[in-house]
Amino acid sequence: MYEQVSHSLLNDILIGLDPKVGCEDLKHFYIRLGANFYAIHSLFHQLYGDRHDFRPQLQKLVEVMARQYVNRRPELRRSDLAREKDHNWFLSQELAGYTLYCQEYAQDLKGMHAKLDYLQELGINLVHIMPVLDGPKGRNDGGYAVRDFRKIDEKYGTLDDMDALSADMRSRGMLLVLDVVVNHTSDEHEWAQQAKQGNEQHLDYYYTYPDRKIPDIFEQSMPEVFPETAPGNFTWNEEMGRWVMTVFNHFQWDLNYKNPAVFIEMIDIILFWANHGADVVRLDAVAFLWKKIGSTCQNEREAHLILQLMKDCCQVTAPGTLFIAEAIVAPLEIIKYFGEDAVNAKECEVAYNATFMALLWDAVATKKTLLLNHGLRNLPTKLDRATWLNYARCHDDIGLGFDDNDIRAAGYDPQAHRRFLVDYYTGVYPDSTATGVAFGRNEKTGDARISGSLASLAGLEAALSSHDDAAIDNSVQIIILLHGMIASFGGIPLLYYGDAIGTLNDNTYLTDENKHHDSRWVHRPTLDWRKAERRHEPGTVEHRIFHAIRKILAVRKQIPAFADLNNREIFETSNPHLFVFMRFTAHGIYSRVLVIANFDTAPHILNLTELNTVNLSERYETRDIYSNQCIATQTGTVEIPALSFYWLQL
Ligand code: GLC
* Dist. CA 122–CA 440, nearest whole Å: 33
Domain 567-649 part of CATH 3.40.50.300: no
Nearest CA-CA partner of 637 in 606, 615, 593, 601: 606
Structure confidence by residue, pLDDT tens digits, 274-310: 999 999 999 999 999 999 999 999 999 999 999 999 9
Q: Is the CB of 397 under 6 A from ligand 1?
A: no
Question: Of 254, 326, 461, 624, which is the active-site residue?
Answer: 326
**Average pLDDT, stretch 368-386?**
93
Give me the pLDDT at residue 22, please.
62
Could you tell me whether strands 280-283 and 175-180 are parallel, antiparallel, or unpaired per DSSP bridges?
parallel
Give me the pLDDT at residue 595, please.
98
Give me the pLDDT at residue 23, please.
65
* Dist. CA 77–CA 80, nearest whole Å: 5
Among 520-524, 539-543, 610-614, the range scoring the smallest mean pLDDT is 610-614
CATH numeric code, 184-254: 3.90.400.10
59 confidence band (pLDDT: 50, 70, 90): very high
Question: Of 188, 279, 284, 518, which is the active-site residue?
Answer: 284
184-254 and 567-649 share one fold: no
Residue with the smallest CA separation from ligand 1 atom 9 is 396
How far, in whole angstroms, is CA 203 from its chain's centroid? Answer: 31
Run of H or E residues at 545: helix 541-557
Counting from 1 in the atom list of ligand 1, the atom nearest the Cα of 520 is: 9
Q: What is the distance between the terminal CA atoms of the chain, rounded to a whole angstrom?
A: 45
* 397 alpha carbon – ligand 1 mean position (Å): 10
Dihedral angle of Cα 516, 521, 525, 526, to the nearest 10 degrees: -70
Give me the pLDDT at residue 635, please.
84
Structure confidence by residue, pLDDT tens digits, 468-499: 999 999 999 999 999 999 999 999 999 999 99
Give me the pLDDT at residue 378, please.
84
- Look up 3 and say whether it is catalytic: no
Q: Is the CB of 394 under 6 A from ligand 1?
A: no
> Regarding predicted confidence, which is higher, 453 or 138?
453
Ordered by start, the domain boundaries in the chain are 184-254, 567-649
Give me the pLDDT at residue 18, please.
76
**Average pLDDT, stretch 35-56?**
97
- Look up 18 and say whether it is catalytic: no
Give me the pLDDT at residue 619, please.
67
> Regarding predicted confidence, which is higher, 363 or 444?
363
* 23 alpha carbon – ligand 1 mean position (Å): 41
In the predicted model, is pLDDT for residue 17 greater than 90? no
Residue 42 main-chain phi, psi, to 5 deg? -70, -35
**Average pLDDT, stretch 547-570?**
96
Give me the pLDDT at residue 187, please.
98
Q: Hey, is 163 helix, strand or coil?
A: helix
Residue 287: DSSP 8-state: G
In the predicted model, is pLDDT for residue 21 greater than 80? no
Q: Hey, is 455 helix, strand or coil?
A: helix
Counting from 1 in the atom list of ligand 1, the atom nearest the Cα of 249 is: 6
**Average pLDDT, stretch 14-39?**
85
413 confidence band (pLDDT: 50, 70, 90): very high
Q: How many CB atoms are closer than 10 A to CB 564?
A: 25
620 confidence band (pLDDT: 50, 70, 90): confident
Residue with the smallest CA separation from ligand 1 atom 10 is 141
Counting from 1 in the atom list of ligand 1, the atom nearest the Cα of 328 is: 7
Residue with the smallest CA separation from ligand 1 atom 4 is 144
Helices 354-366, 414-425: crossing angle, 10 deg rounding: 80
In the predicted model, is pLDDT for residue 399 greater than 70? yes
* Dist. CA 590–CA 59, nearest whole Å: 50
* Dist. CA 317–CA 502, nearest whole Å: 41
Q: Is the CB of 142 under 6 A from ligand 1?
A: yes
> Regarding predicted confidence, which is higher, 598 or 622?
598
* Dist. CA 632–CA 501, nearest whole Å: 32
